[in-house]
Amino acid sequence: MGQLPPHRVRVGFVTPDLGRPSGGSAYNTRVIANWPAATSVETVVVSPNVARPAVGGDGGSTARSQAVPGGGRALDAALEEALRRNPVSVVDGLLGSEHPDVIERAEAAGHRVLLLMHMPRPDDVGLTAADRERLATLEQRAVRAASAIVSPSTWGAAEVARRYGRADALVAVPGVERAPVARGSEPLQVLQLGAVGPLKNQELVLRAVQQLAGGPSPAPEFRLRIVGPVVDLPAAERLQALTAALPQVTAGPEGPLEGEELEQVFAGTDLLVSVATRETYGLVVTEALARGIPAIAGRGTGAEEALAAGGAAAGLPGVTVSPSDPVELARALGRWLTEPELRRDWRSRALAARPRLPRWEHTAQTISDAASAALSRGSAR
């Protein structure tokens, strides 16, 4: 490794490549891009096979990786190598939570590990009861072994304490990038953005739209767009069948969109719906608020925290609903569609929230400071 200036810490950042957009991947990428100059960050991207870390330069970050065929023991070896390259590393929970033995060995060898938990691993969809129990056991060991735990929300930190008994998780709230104000559409456009599958709960939204369509007073014309990568094919097929009878829905799940295509979707959006069954934070909610778009968010999840990220002294820029009740969601959506004053009120609150939303520079600084503190505590042992 190259020589760093005196007292300048090099931090490893071990992140997975899922091959599709995700909130966790976006968080990692933006934290790395905004890493403070006081420390250096070396990134290793672990592909569905395995990747070996690339060496970061003295100034800032690198996001290069080299794929290595294999899995299982090869993945263990790659993680071991990644965690031993630097005195302290941040490792995404999608990787670290299932490999507590690697974390334990790294810590025993004097390499400090910060476990970044975007979501508890047992909460993933499509798992059997045995899978969930196995993942919970592994994750508990990983949580206990790591020098520090990082969560993107107070909700997530509370979950770590409740499940695993560790009450000192650091909260590093996601930031937002500055974005233009959405112009909206005529007819009104409602957006649900996220991976297509049971977790993000697109079916609940379509059931709510069915309620509106079958009500005594049909709702005004609007369009619903469902955007995101398909992670559960049977769920996507069910959604496609439901949309066939709903003229409000453009064409069923539209697949993943990024960059300018996604910006165009945001630009035409009047309301975001984010009602995942479990959500550690709800990055799409703050991304919507950054464009002056209000949201309907899932109550009792981290999305509720995101909806209030710009302050709520004058009221929320939207409303929370149960992520299991299509009738409540239909009622909230119906009010927004039929009450122009409510739409103006939510919109004005979303616009007021824009300048008060957290920034990625602060998120990155929080994690960098935590890495430095973990290293200092380790040196004092």
Q: What CATH number does the domain containing 332 carry?
A: 3.40.50.2000
**Which pLDDT tens digit goes with each residue over 193-246?**
998 888 899 999 999 998 887 766 667 889 999 998 888 888 888 888 888 878
C-alpha–C-alpha distance, residues 111 and 105, integer Å: 9
pLDDT tens-digit map of 305-326 = 999 998 877 789 999 999 999 9
Q: Would you say residue 62 lies in a domain?
A: yes
Same-domain status, 76 and 126 = yes
Note the pLDDT tens digit of each residue in 99-131.
999 999 999 999 999 999 999 999 887 788 999
Model confidence, pTM: 0.85
**CA 222 from chain center: how many Å?**
28
Confidence of residue 65 (pLDDT cuts 50, 70, 90): very low
The string of pLDDT tens digits covering residues 150-201 is 999 999 999 999 999 999 999 999 999 999 999 999 999 999 999 888 889 9
Nearest to 79 by CA among 20, 130, 146: 146
Residues 153 and 20 in one domain: yes
Residue 180 lies in a domain: no
Whether residue 2 is contained in a domain is answered as: no
Q: Based on the domain organization, do 351 and 364 belong to the same domain?
A: no
21 and 110 together in one domain: yes
- 268 with 344, same domain? yes
Residues 298 and 350 in one domain: yes
Could you tell me the CA-to-CA distances from 5 to 9, 13, 59, 157, 186 in Å, in that order? 9, 20, 10, 34, 56
Clarify whether residues 134 and 250 are in a common domain.
no
In sequence order, which residues have a C-beta less than 8 Å from that of residue 236 and are 6 or more positions away? 196, 197, 230, 252, 253
Contacts of 228 (CB under 8 A, 6+ apart): 21, 192, 193, 194, 195, 196, 200, 253, 254, 255, 256
Q: What is the pLDDT of residues 325-353, one digit of tens each?
A: 999 999 999 999 999 999 999 999 999 99
CA distances for 371 relative to 87, 126, 217, 363, angstroms: 10, 34, 56, 13
Is 181 inside any structural domain? no
Co-location of 105 and 87 in the same domain: yes
Residues 6+ apart with CB under 8 A from 60: 35, 37, 40, 41
For 254-320, the DSSP string reads -B---HHHHHHHHHT-SEEEE--SS-SS-HHHHHHHTTT--EEEETTSHHHHHHTTT--TT--SEEE
Asked whether residue 140 carries a pLDDT value surpassing 80, the answer given is yes
At 230, is the secondary structure helix, strand, or coil?
strand
DSSP secondary structure letter of residue 98: T
Say yes or no: 102 and 210 in one domain.
no
Are 218 and 170 found together in one domain? no
What is the distance between the terminal CA atoms of the chain, rounded to a whole angstrom?
A: 25
Quick: pLDDT tens for 265-306. 999 999 999 999 988 998 999 999 999 999 999 999 999 999
Q: Spell out the residues 6+ positions from residue 369 whose beta carbon is closer than 8 angstroms to its own.
A: none
The span from the CA of 39 to the CA of 7, in Å, is 9
Count up the domains in the chain and report the number: 2
Residue 69 pLDDT greater than 80, yes or no: no
Same domain, yes or no, for 168 and 277? no
* Residue range of the domain that includes 371: 10-175+359-379
Pairwise CA distance, residues 291 & 177, whole Å? 10
Do 170 and 205 share a domain, yes or no?
A: no
For 41, phi then psi, to 5°, come to: -120, 130
